[in-house]
Structure formats: structure tokens, C-alpha cells
A = this chain, B = another copy of it.
Amino acid sequence: MELPLTPTDFLVRARRLFADREGVIEHEDCERAHVFTYAQHAERAARLAQVLRDDLGVQKGDRVAWLCGNRHELLEGYFGVLLAGAVLLPLNIRLSAPELRWILDDSRAAVLIRDPALTELDPPVRELLIDGRYEERLAAQPLPWVDPPEVDENDVAEIFYTSGSTGRPKGAMLTHRSLYLHAVHSALTMSISGHDVIIHTIPLFHVNGWGTPHYMTALGGVQVMLPRFDSAEVLRLVEAERVTRLYLVPAMMTLLLNDPTFDSRDLSSLKQLSVGGAPTPPALLAEAERRFGCECICGYGMTETAPQLTKAIDKPGEPRSVRRRSTTGMPILGVDLRIFDEQDNELPWDGATAGEIRVRSNHVMAGYWEKPEETESALAGGWMHTGDVGTMSPDGFLTIVDRKKDLIISGGENISSVEVENALAEHPAVLEAEVVGVPDERWGEVPRAFVALRAGTDASADELIGFVRQRLAHFKAPKEVRIVDALPRGGTGKVLKNVLRDS
């Protein structure tokens, strides 16, 4: 018997088997403000589906965009949009209004569901605001449940726009099958169970929230919402809700460890910290394990792969070691990950030979939205070309040594250096600009710009930073601008980014 693999199965399961489980919890002002059982959570998702389908005319395959922090409404959207037969398109709330409008245009979104408190935006699409009337609209729907529509498991279910190395973001399309398998493979690799309690620290508008909305629902675990990251609030919630697992980017980890309330909180319920989204210094990991008193595992992934690719779980039958923890871990179940040279030869797993990391997996995206050339290039030869360079140890642990693409990862966000360079280049005084990532204790990396000015013009570093912030999300603006006479170039005229990084 062949039935389509789809994340809505997870909601159907939770609704039937974990109906009375208080699965979705959101605090306000240090108290439980919203508590939904899985029966209620499923009903809210079904009512949202009716609003979309019947009130707003959303059709099968339409893109439904979200602009919302980790409020329970977005978690409901993860399932409600699919129940309506539509495609979930979560937007990064940190993008600027012009960037958001560009994505809404590019994706031809049918509806934007938006937290009005977040952004000033004049969107080019119909809106559903999460305001006082939102609850009324849900309540006005006739049915407490709608059965999931028929789908082909290879239909697109989610699109996430991601900054690659070249200019404008691209929409990575993930299918129902990809999301389903990513969820069960991730949960099994990480030994997640229905007894786990998590906080949605990772933005649900990012890389499928690492799959947690799907597998926590399937298993009947508890999901604590976190509309906005705040280290003291996270520590308070761990104690208040007896949280068992945290998912963090390194910048969040640093904030937690440095929070003044850290030592006053009871964190004994924690079993595991899962860190990803950027390279994690081994010293930070070791400190985290010591102070949190639980294991801390690294991982690696990318939007195009749903996203998890590796996790530094304990190797069965072997003791854990610092060497292991300092890698990004083993491929998770369902992921065939290897390294290749530029002539497409597979490279040995010797812990020394570095090559491009390529991946074959059902987790890999179907392609980039309406970008056939970029899709073909990313998936050439039946492998997802990650653009990252790594080594594999003989026993299958990955270490990332470089990024082939000029991508800066700052606080878990991708920044395209080209996009920032292009913004700088729009300034009349800028002759040429080059942007590189430089290490930063708090954010992992931050962008630093090197700018050569046109003869006879002038512009200060602060002026240029302000100029970029008017055009792009603030986190993309260079933290520092260095005015130089000329950019260092190699024999072919190519700017030597490595020289800039080391300068």
C-alpha cells in the first residue's frame, strides 16, 4: 500500500493520539498566556485552512507568506497552510521592506499573514493580519476539522528564500516527502521522543525550524513558543516548563552563557543542546557542556537540505571525545554525504583531504523556485553541491574547512557578500567594494567591507554603513568599513578575498 508521505500526517496523528496533551505553550509576561492541546492546535490549523481557502480564495499550490516571529500562529500555519492545499512561505522578519516586497513579488504569493507589530510594509499582496480580528475569523469558520487534501508527496509544501553567494535570494522548494523524511530521520538520529519538551528558539521562518515543528507534533512532545529570542526568557522558560532540549546557533549559546540570570535558574531538566547554523568553536561547546550540565552536539545543514545533514551524536560503542565534538558530526539517517574534487572525483575519508561537500538525499530540495539554471547547477550530476569544503574522518565525521561560496553566516543568518557589495556600489562615491566575513565573538561572523572611493569624492565609514542599512536588513550591513586605496588583486585581476580576510 502506497500512501503519500506528508507532514499533515503528523498533525492527524497528534490530533487522534495526543488530543489532550498540552502541546503548544506560549508565555506572556512570565506566565502561560496560550496553552493548546493537540486537539485544539489541530482545530486551529483546520480553521486557518478554512479562512485561507474559503475567505481568502487560496487555491491549491498558492504560496501563503508569513511574516511573524515564533508565535503559536506560525506553528499553526505550518500545518494549516498545507491543510488548505497551499505552500508555506515563511519570510525572515529581519529583512527590510524592499527585500520583503521583492520576495513577495518573485514568489507571486497569494496572501501574506503578518504580525502587524513587526514591520512597516506596504505589501503587494492581500494581507491577513494577526490582530484582534484574527481570532474572530478563526472562530467564524464552520468546521472544527478538515481532512487533508489529496497530495502527491512530491508536490512542493514549503519555500524558504535563502541568500546564496550571488545577489538576490532564491526560493528553495521542499516537498511533502522531503519534509516528512527529514523529520523522522532527524528525530531518530537524535533520539527524540514524545516526552521531550523544546523551545522554538530557532526562527520557524528559517530552514524549516530544523524540522522540530514536524517531529515534535508527530511524537506528541511539548513545543514552547518564543516570539523573540531573549536569553533571560529562554532560561526562565527552561525552568518553568522543564525543557529537555534546546536548539541554538552559537550566538544564542553565547548570550545564554553570559546572561546574568544563568546561575539562578534550575536547568536540570535539560538533556541536550543542539548547536548549528554556523561553525561552533570547540571551547564554546566545552564550556556549554560544563555549565549546562548536559551534552551539546554540533550539526551542519543548509536551507536546500531541509536542513539537517550532520549531527555530532555519540558514535555507538565508542566514548565521546573532544575531537568528535569539534567536528560537525556524522551524516544523519537518510543522508549520503561525500566530498569531491573539482573534477567530480570522490575523495578519501582520511581526515585530511578537503573537497566540496555534496549530498544525495530525499531531504534535498526539488529546486529553486523558477530558477531552472541555478537549480541545475546546484543539483548537477544528481548531487546537491553545498559549496562548502570539508574533510571526512575515516569513521565518517565531517569537519568544515571553508566555504566555497562567499557567504557570511552571522548569528545563524546567511549574508551574501555580493548583495552587500552591490548595495555599497550604489553609493555615488564608491568605486569598488569587497565584503568578507570576519570572526566575531557574539555573532560568529560579521561582514567587514573594504571600499575604494572614486577620485575626488569622499564618504565616511559611518555614512556608508548607514547607506547600506537603508537598503538591506540591518544585520547585513557591514559592522566595519575600511577605506582603502585599492583592492588587492591576483594575476587574473580577481580580488584576493583571502588577503582581505587576513588583513
Interfacial residues, chain A to chain B (CB-CB below 8 A): 1-3, 5, 9, 12-13, 16-22, 154, 175, 177-178, 181, 184-185, 187-188, 191-195, 218-222, 314-317, 330-331, 333-334, 336, 360-366, 379, 382, 384, 394-396
Contact = CB atoms under 8 A, between A and B. Distances in A.
A497 B240 CA distance: 58
Contact of A219 (B2, B12, B316): B316
A396 B382 CA distance: 42
Contacts of A185: 184
Given A21-B317, A330-B17, A361 B3 contact: yes
A194 B316 CA distance: 5
A316 B379 CA distance: 40
B1 A193 contact: no
B3 A362 contact: yes
A191 to B, nearest CB: 5
Contact of A193 (B154, B219, B316, B360): B316
30 contacts: A1-B360, A1-B362, A1-B363, A1-B364, A1-B365, A2-B175, A2-B177, A2-B362, A3-B360, A9-B334, A12-B336, A13-B331, A16-B396, A17-B330, A17-B331, A17-B396, A19-B395, A20-B395, A22-B317, A184-B185, A188-B192, A188-B219, A194-B314, A194-B317, A195-B314, A195-B316, A219-B316, A219-B333, A220-B315, A221-B316
Nearest to A367: B1
From A1, A19, A222, A333, residue with most partner B Cβ within 10 Å: A1
Contacts of A334: 9
Contacts of A187: 188
B3 A220 contact: no
Given A222-B317, A362-B2, A333 B195 contact: no
Contacts of A195: 314, 316-317
A192 to B, nearest CB: 8
3 closest A-B pairs by beta carbon, nearest first, are A194-B316, A1-B364, A17-B396
Given A1-B384, A177-B2, A21 B316 contact: yes
A13 B316 contact: no
B194 A193 contact: no
A374 to B, nearest CB: 15
